[in-house]
Chain A
Amino acid sequence: MRDYLRLEVRRTLRDPGFVVGGIAMPVLMYLLFTNLGQDESGWRTGGMVGMAAYGALGSALNTGGGVAEDRATGWLRQLRVTPMTPRQVVVGRALTGTVTVLPAIVAVLAAGGLLNGVRLAAWQWAGIAALLWLGSVPFTLLGLGNGYRLSGQTTGVANMLCGLGLAVLGGLWFPVTLFPHWLRALSRYTPANRFAQLGGSVATGHAPAPGAVAVLIGWLLVFGSYAVLSYRRGAANL
């Protein structure tokens, strides 16, 4: 299992699409959005958490793109004729997702601290990173669900739309205070909004809101079921 995780993490890190889209893009967008116009030091911190969440979200979904690719090339089928069990393969994939979200989180937080002058207590930095890391699990499951169900190309498009849609709707790119009232109300039930809120609470010195945890657990169950259903359907045709 450890070997499989190592192999898949290595393969992910060699993917230029992952490095650019999952790490470089969130960092650049964060620096761009927070340094245009007047200085709003509040959004420097809020935007940092939002973009770290967006990067983690994209990286988590990207795990599904890898699965779709490996279905297309026959690599997953090849694994079925090795002693590895199907359970080991799918769990290994999910764990890969939890590892590959870390570079995006660390890179955006580093940009905030080193380039944008965000100052937080050590426990806050650690707390934000840890919560964003844990909170990305539902999105990894959503990506896996897409990857086991859809073809390689469709998975790429589906993941991009999921990523963009959830990020914008959840207020990861722009503060939700810019949204109309009804959209702001809706946004509070989306997973990405509550995902960023986990880190946001810590950044402002609070514990994560129970509501955020509850909504995320709800989405964890929804996306988890989706991943299981997709896997059952997709694995039959491997």
Chain B
Amino acid sequence: MTTRTQTAVSFTGTVKTYGEVRAVDGVDLGIAPGGTVALLGRNGAGKSTTISLLLGLTEPDSGTVELFGGPPEASVRAGRVGAMLQEARAVSRVTVGELVAFVAGRYPAPLPVAEALELAGIAGLAGRRVDRLSGGQAQRVRLAVALAGNPALLVLDEPTAALDVEARHAFWTSMRGYARRGHTVLFSTHYLEEADAHADRILVIDRGRIVADGTGDDLRRSAGGSLVSFDLAGEAPEALSLLPGVRAVEVREGRARLRTDDSDATVLALAGLGAVRALEVAPASLDDAFLALTDPEPVR
């Protein structure tokens, strides 16, 4: 029993299909309480379906989903979960204060309303009508609604989509403030930088499967440590993939880009071939890692 309650979120062989599309295709996953986890994927990768399953809004076709060792619905009813759903529009004809107070009142041990508003960065808007706010303000009202109940698990589905840079920055400050209180925060995003900057752990989802799981650094490493690029002078690209350390080769506009685990060995071998024109060595970016993990054809 103790091990079960130590898991905030657990998916076991979870599958959800919509017609022909396997939106979630056999996900196994465990998230311990505390810390911030990002669910990173392209549009249509299965993020929102995963979150719907997690919140009990959707039933899996097979496999199980558990929150705190029980069905998601039990945790939702017990007030352990708060969520910011995607594509929600402003609730009409209600003030920010009324809305947040109402939602807080549904939970057994909510935050004081003033504190929830403060944390979401909208302390000055309590008396304003929700349907008359700017997009960024409305988004933060939705954050306040999600955390008003002081839930142990806060779930945010693409929380910063459609926010400008400034609003996004303010949003993450709020979110980190909540995570620091020892709660579990799970958010989905298709922005790599967001996942890297704000999550302790990144789950990369592609075509309904978790294809990578680790910190941003783990992902960078797993994709190949460095990127070596140089101008080609007629060498056959096939030979390049045989050089020491090289994991993937890409040739574009007369320039070769080698993804390598050992850039020193690769560069020495290239020097031996005399292929060092405009040579550049760069650490693989998270973008590279993401593309390598999710691209169906990483080597051309």
Please report A residues at the B interface, Cβ cutoff 8 Å: 3-4, 7, 10-11, 14-15, 69-70, 72-75, 77-78, 80-85, 238
Q: What is the CB-to-nearest-CB distance from B106 to chain A, in angstroms, rounded to a whole number?
A: 5
Q: What is the CB-to-nearest-CB distance from B255 to chain A, in angstroms, rounded to a whole number?
A: 47
In the complex formed, the residue of A with least CB distance to B79 is A83
Please name all residues of chain A whose beta carbon is closer than 8 Å to the beta carbon of B94 when the two chains form the complex. 7, 10-11
Q: B57, B87, B88, B107: which contacts A82 (Cβ < 8 A)?
A: B107
Please name all residues of chain B whose beta carbon is closer than 8 Å to the beta carbon of A11 when the two chains form the complex. 92-94
Q: In the complex, A215 Cα to B78 Cα: how many Å?
A: 43
Q: What is the CB-to-nearest-CB distance from A77 to chain B, in angstroms, rounded to a whole number?
A: 6
State whether B105 touches A3 (Cβ < 8 A).
yes
Q: B79, B89, B155: which contacts A72 (Cβ < 8 A)?
A: B89
| Size bracket, chain B contacts | 20 to 34
B143 part of interface (Cβ distance < 8 Å): no
State whether B82 touches A81 (Cβ < 8 A).
yes
Q: In the complex, A238 Cα to B82 Cα: how many Å?
A: 17
B102 part of interface (Cβ distance < 8 Å): yes
Q: What is the CB-to-nearest-CB distance from A196 to chain B, in angstroms, rounded to a whole number?
A: 30
Please name all residues of chain B whose beta carbon is closer than 8 Å to the beta carbon of A83 when the two chains form the complex. 76-79, 106-108, 149
State whether A10 touches B88 (Cβ < 8 A).
no
B62-100 to A contact mask, C-beta < 8 Å, 1/0: 000000000000001111011101011111111000100
Q: In the complex, A54 Cα to B203 Cα: how many Å?
A: 57
B89-125 to A contact mask, C-beta < 8 Å, 1/0: 1111110001000110111100000000000000000
B202 part of interface (Cβ distance < 8 Å): no
Please name all residues of chain B whose beta carbon is closer than 8 Å to the beta carbon of A10 when the two chains form the complex. 93-94, 98
Q: In the complex, A126 Cα to B39 Cα: how many Å?
A: 60
In the complex formed, the residue of A with least CB distance to B148 is A82
State whether B85 touches A77 (Cβ < 8 A).
yes
Asked if A7 meets B102 with Cβ closer than 8 Å, knowing A81-B55, A81-B57, A82-B149, the reply is yes
Q: Beyond the given A3-B106, A83-B78, could you list 13 further A-B residue pairs with CB under 8 A, ordered by the A residue number?
A: A4-B102, A7-B98, A78-B88, A78-B91, A80-B76, A81-B76, A81-B155, A82-B76, A82-B106, A82-B107, A83-B79, A83-B107, A238-B57
